[in-house]
Chain A
Amino acid sequence: MPLSTSSSERALPDAARASWLLAGLAFGVVLVVLAEFALRGLGGVPNVRDSEALWHTQRERAARAEDRGIVLVGASRFQLGLDLEALTEATQRPVIQLAIDGSGYLDLVEDLSNDDRFRGTVLISGMPASLNDSRPADRASTWVASYHQTFKGLVSPNIEQSLSAKLQSYSALYANIYPLPRVAKIAIDGQRIPPLYLKTFPSRERSADYRLVQMPQFYIQRVGRNLGGRIDKMQFATMGEFAAKVTEVAADSAHEVAPALTDFQRLQAAISRLKSRGATVTILEMPSSGLIKAMEDIWYPSAYWREFEATLQAPIIRATDFPELTFELPDGSHLDQSQKRAFTRALVDVLNREGAL
């Protein structure tokens, strides 16, 4: 075998072999198209992956929006509960979704406050336990750090992620959210892929269709998760018994959940920096209902919210204080896709009346 690294002449396939190779490439493309149709035939649908890289593109948008942007910081309630199109229409401003499902978000607020480019409006979904100093680092910390290390100011990663999200919104195959072995088994068993109740868009907005989940099991699981697994191994004969236990455990754990009001110094400093640059900050308590609301009323009574607002020196708008923002939520915690447009429009009216926009 030749060991030289130089070969100014490469061996090329003859015409017949080249034709075969071309046919192979073309057939490969045909197979991909067939796979797309096959996946859709099994019930697969396009869906965007809410990834770290996708978040980075929105973070970059937030910086470039300067004083015009409305940035949404929070977790799943914000991601599922706000209709970005409605918000953009009503405010005529670019809206950027930076909420991260299942994560605290103090690092996001701090990051925006340290970014001199950003001077717009920040709406923070205000669960205190996601914003206090002593909360451990989580996904938001990682995503913020990697944004600065690998994405900020770079051009092609931004373009790539935007293209990728666009293609994912059209192709069931490209997002690869259906694990291949599982799809193969479903196909062999002659079944269909169970529909996903969550849909993600390139803007990172998410919609939940709760008709596709099993109730009340889904609701019970949600309540259990909000209680931090404290009742996971318990059995209940009736919903009444379940509700009573939830209330009891919530009351017992109140001292563990609500952070001390002295534990928000980082948030105070971040809000102060944002305001000093001309940015506006408003904290929103998103609606909740049923047992979720009952727990949150125990953990964060009205007096706590008043003191929280005084501590932060930033306005707090609680959905519970405005009838137009009060909804009956399917899982007690998140708006259904059919509710969020109305909620968003009502929210804009409230924000305008309160001078938050």
Chain B
Amino acid sequence: MQFDSLTFLLFFAAVLATYYAVPNWGWRKNVLLASSYLFYMAWSPPLVILIWISTLADFCIAKRMHATTAPGRRKALVAASLVINLGVLSYFKYAAFLLGSFADLLALAGVAYRPPDFDIILPIGISFYTFQTLSYTLDVYRRKTTPEQSLRDFALFVTFFPQLVAGPIVRATHFLPQCAEAKPFNSQALTWGLALLVWGIFQKTVLADTIFAPLVDAFYADVTQTSVLGTTQALLAFSMQIYCDFAGYSLCAVGAALCLGFSIPDNFKAPYAAAGFSDFWRRWHVTLSTWLRDYLYVSLGGNRRGSTRTYVNLTLTMLLGGLWHGASWNFVVWGLLHGVLLMIERSVRRDDGAARLPVALSVVLTFLAVTLVWIPFRSPDWATTVAVARSFFASPLTSGADYSTASAVALATAAAMLVYHYYRRQKSLDDLMRSVPAGLQAAGLALATLSVALCATGDTNAFIYFQF
């Protein structure tokens, strides 16, 4: 169920009421765990078995790993965790894609091969929770943490419903200590959590779905009938749509967790005010980018083996990061492009590590480049990617552009959001909360609530990152 749904509203109200009605901390965690399983099973009951497999496997593997000092055995155990988690992920997410690509490759060589039909439903959240449990076993392997002794607490770490389906990807070192301490009812946490929930739903329902999505969908319905201006409008709108959609979800997750007394990390830190691509990845989907950095890039050698190897490691990490988003060459290309941008940035950086450009110019150029690179990410197939990219060079300048009021509102909102991002460059969400006058915040919250009600249609568009 989605955060902006009636089902979640009823579910969350029931969970909050039950959670705080139970006085014992252990029983409260049981309520949370049961609610989390219910939350997941509300999608498709049988698929909860996969979470159980992942949970039990990694719980046992981590304990055994910690109990042994033999390096070979430890390696074998962590390999087992990798095989189980990535195996399940690969089967559900990539099997059809790999077979299809193999068939295409054979076709190029003149060999006709028809792969079997793979009618597999992608278990929701699998990309997120497998990475989450893998981070745990890898941290235990690297002796950065000790294994959790309570299966219940570990299961709650894996399945905590606010972040189960689309992140943030939480580290065990962040979450498990919070399970150890009882959380009394805190009205300020509940209030701020509800406020964040409303703001997150506002970003998704009002900004992403109502203001930006129509412009983007209209453009992608027929990309041949466009102009340079039209393409620019649509790409800007998609930049904002995907940010509002995903950041909105993450904000909802943070807010829902806070209502229950748990703190989970911010996933977005004004990414469109990034000065450079490294900075962008320190601000966009932060929990994924740090996961890739800590468990993939560093494992490959990071920047410790010379420039060439660093570039390879960067590109490979971003390429696999792209593939994580979806079983499609479009996502691979998107990741690859980001890898290339990071390489270019690294090569032009000064010896003292600073950028050569003024910050404001760097922010603008970064935003424009990131927006262009969204092309393969949004396009449903490679042909559309090429068509959109071509439209910058082969189309008329302005005919076919959208001059409607809706388009003007979208672009004005996009401009306002860029200003907001620049204002928030060095401010966290909590800083922002403290700096805005309370009355203004309250008025904003009231208007956000009203806006959500005015834009809610009962036809909820799925969060974009649900498909990953």
Taking beta carbons and an 8 Å cutoff, which residues of A are in contact with B?
Answer: 1-3, 5-18, 20-25, 27-29, 31-32, 35, 49, 51-53, 153-156, 159-161, 163-165, 167-168, 173-176, 180-181
Contact = CB atoms under 8 A, between A and B. Distances in A.
Contacts of A154: 43-44
Contacts of A155: 41-45
Interface centre among A154, A165, A168 (most CB of B within 10 A): A154
B441 A167 contact: no
A155 B258 CA distance: 27
A13 B433 CA distance: 8
Nearest to B291: A5
B442 A174 contact: no
Contact of B188 (A15, A25, A163, A164): A15
Contact of A28 (B168, B198, B258, B434): B198
A8 B178 contact: yes
B459 A53 contact: yes
Main secondary structure of the interface of B (DSSP, over half): helix
B265 A6 contact: yes
B458 A175 contact: yes
B456 interface: yes
Given A28-B198, A167-B6, A5 B458 contact: no
Contact of B439 (A1, A20, A164, A176): A20
B406 to A, nearest CB: 9
User: Interface range on chain B: under 10, 10 to 19, 20 to 34, or 35 or more?
Assistant: 35 or more
A14 B188 contact: yes
Describe A's contact surface by its main secondary structure: helix
A175 B6 CA distance: 13
A10 B458 contact: no
Contacts of B198: 25, 28
A181 B438 CA distance: 30
Contacts of B384: none
Given A28-B445, A155-B41, A11 B433 contact: yes
Interface string B417-458: 000000001111011011000110111111111100111111
B378 to A, nearest CB: 19
Given A28-B445, A53-B459, A160 B453 contact: no
Contacts of B186: 12
Nearest to A51: B459
B187 interface: yes
B90 interface: no
5 contacts: A20-B439, A25-B194, A25-B449, A49-B459, A168-B458
Contacts of B195: 21, 24-25
A155 to B, nearest CB: 5
B177 A18 contact: no
A55 B168 CA distance: 33
A3 B434 CA distance: 19
B405 to A, nearest CB: 7
Contacts of B41: 155
Contacts of B189: 10, 12
Given A7-B263, A18-B187, A28-B448, 13 more contacts: A5-B286, A11-B431, A13-B188, A13-B434, A20-B441, A21-B445, A24-B195, A25-B198, A27-B442, A31-B449, A32-B450, A165-B458, A181-B405
Contacts of A31: 446-447, 449-450, 453
Question: Can you list the 8 inter-chain pairs with the closest CB atoms, starting with the nearest?
Answer: A28-B449, A24-B442, A24-B445, A11-B430, A164-B458, A156-B42, A20-B438, A28-B446
B63 interface: no
Contacts of B64: none
Given A5-B286, A154-B43, A176 B455 contact: yes
Contacts of A160: 1-2, 5-7, 460
B204 interface: no
A31 B178 CA distance: 37
B335 to A, nearest CB: 20
A176 B449 contact: no
Contact of A163 (B6, B425, B439): B6
A8 B6 contact: no
B24 interface: no
A35 B456 CA distance: 13
Contacts of A28: 198, 445-450
Interface in B258-285: 258, 263, 265-266, 269, 282
Pick the most buried of A35, A49, A159: most chain B CB atoms within 10 A of its CB: A159
Interface in B139-171: 168, 171
B174 interface: yes
B398 interface: no
A159 B7 contact: yes
Nearest to B283: A3
A175 B457 contact: yes
Nearest to B44: A154
Contacts of A32: 449-450, 453
Contacts of B101: none
Nearest to B426: A1
B173 interface: yes
Contact of A6 (B173, B445, B449): B173
A171 B7 CA distance: 17
The winner among B178, B433, B458 for most chain A CB atoms within 10 A is B458
A31 B450 CA distance: 6
B191 interface: yes
Interface string B41-62: 1111100000000000000000
Interface in B224-265: 258, 263, 265
A155 B405 CA distance: 39
B287 interface: yes
A189 to B, nearest CB: 18
Contacts of B266: 5, 7
Interface string B19-43: 0000000000000000000000111
Nearest to A34: B450
B263 A10 contact: yes
Given A18-B191, A27-B446, A164-B6, A6 B174 contact: yes
Contacts of A3: 269, 282
